[in-house]
Homo-oligomer: A and B are copies of this chain.
Amino acid sequence: MTELRTLKVALLGCGNVGAQVARILIDDAGTLAPRTGARLELAGIAVRNLDAEREVDLPRDLFTTDGETLVKEADLVIELMGGIEPARSLILSAIQNGASVVTGNKALLAADGPALYEEADKAGVELSYEAAVAGAIPILRPIRDSLSGDRITRVLGIVNGTTNFILDQMDSTGAQFADALAEAQRLGYAEADPTADVEGHDAAAKAAILASLSFHTRFDLENVYCEGITGVSAADIAAAKEAGFVIKLLAIAEKIGNGDGSEGVSVRVHPTLLPREHPLAAVRGAFNAVFVEAENAGELMFYGQGAGGTPTASAVLGDLVSAARRIVLGGPGRIESTTGHVPALPIDAATTSYYIGLDVADQPGVLAKIAQLFAEHGVSIEIMRQTIHRDADSNVESAELRIVTHRASEAALAATVEAVKGLDVINSVTSVLRVEGA
């Protein structure tokens, strides 16, 4: 057997994912070499603080604070520092030096991906980032390669484990948002400052990446409409449940006809009702899943762990071995396909069904008035259900109205809801939520 060549790997960052990547590169070196066709040698790990506590016990002499020098000696660079700088500069430096790069940095990709892809194309190296979306789940490669001969029409993703855990807790225990969040924090699923997760920012960055690959067009964070889950109440969840739905925070990218023969893509993140029979409804706890609809393939779903050091490390290593194989075999890196040129659409252009909860006066003719208003705004009602409550003490009756509409545009719905609020028979609009997959 001939001696295998050695490829030097530089690791930037040693947080919970980075530490696991280092561990696997060291422990599994013997397994990885024959699969790759080369020995993958961990040449060094760049960190900010040499003395920080690590999750994994790693040789001290691997660590350095000089990322710039480390990157210059490497055939392959893994960037897991997060944030924009110095990650961006180090990646550019690696690419210009002829190294292929693997990153899990969704914030950087969503903010500055196009410039990085272009540099990698020019240099003929690979820039892979499977770990940036849905952790361990192979989703970017299937979209880019396996579906390259198909036309994706829609992607629905549960791509943030923290919010899925919180919503699942609320659904299964009846807890309020604040209590479910506290539980998620206690179990380590949510950070002390949960903003990036619960406000949907993390999911929005992933939505931009999914949309870009699915529609062969570069979308960035500015193209993504984003609404988090802080406004979802226990009552919303209970009502959804009673109606046969579950509430999930979805990252959605879908192609929409503009009515004039042209097409656009709506990219958005918001709490969404899903029928309990929908495959995504069964995604529990902190798990992730991405549901893809394509013209020829039909419905596909990819399910797995969306976070965690070890699962995410698996995605990083898949990219690393694939890039290393390409170096061994020769030939340039893969082409980034961005030839679709479809424009990003604002949220107003999206059409979905809606679930609307109303607190109304219990008097004759209310339903007719509301139905009339929906009709005037061109929003068709699929289901309308009224429940009467009587307060035992005051003997006052109040009525709760739940409406599910047919597909309507965001704009038509917003106008309808505004008009409904103006009716004197309406006490309050208790919820407005989108429905998918029905």
Q: Which residues of A contact B (CB under 8 A)?
A: 20, 24, 28, 31-32, 34-37, 130, 136-138, 141-142, 145-151, 216, 279, 282, 294, 296-305, 308, 310-311, 313-322, 325-326, 328-332, 334-335, 337, 339
Contacts and interface: CB of A to CB of B under 8 A. Distances in A.
A356 B28 CA distance: 40
A293 to B, nearest CB: 10
A279 to B, nearest CB: 6
9 contacts: A37-B335, A138-B138, A138-B142, A146-B322, A148-B318, A149-B314, A282-B282, A296-B310, A298-B304
A96 to B, nearest CB: 20
Given A314-B294, A316-B149, A331-B329, A303 B304 contact: no
A150 B318 contact: yes
A326 B331 contact: yes
Contacts of A298: 136, 304-305, 308, 310-311
A137 B300 contact: yes
Contacts of A299: 304-305
A32 to B, nearest CB: 6
A335 B325 contact: yes
Given A138-B146, A142-B138, A151-B28, A303 B279 contact: yes
A146 B318 contact: yes
Given A141-B145, A149-B316, A297-B304, 18 more contacts: A35-B148, A136-B294, A145-B318, A145-B321, A147-B314, A148-B322, A149-B317, A149-B320, A149-B321, A150-B318, A297-B314, A297-B315, A298-B311, A299-B305, A300-B302, A301-B304, A303-B303, A328-B335
Contacts of A320: 149
B147 A318 contact: yes
A151 B32 CA distance: 10
Contact of A331 (B146, B330, B335, B337): B330
A289 to B, nearest CB: 8
Contact of A146 (B28, B141, B339): B141
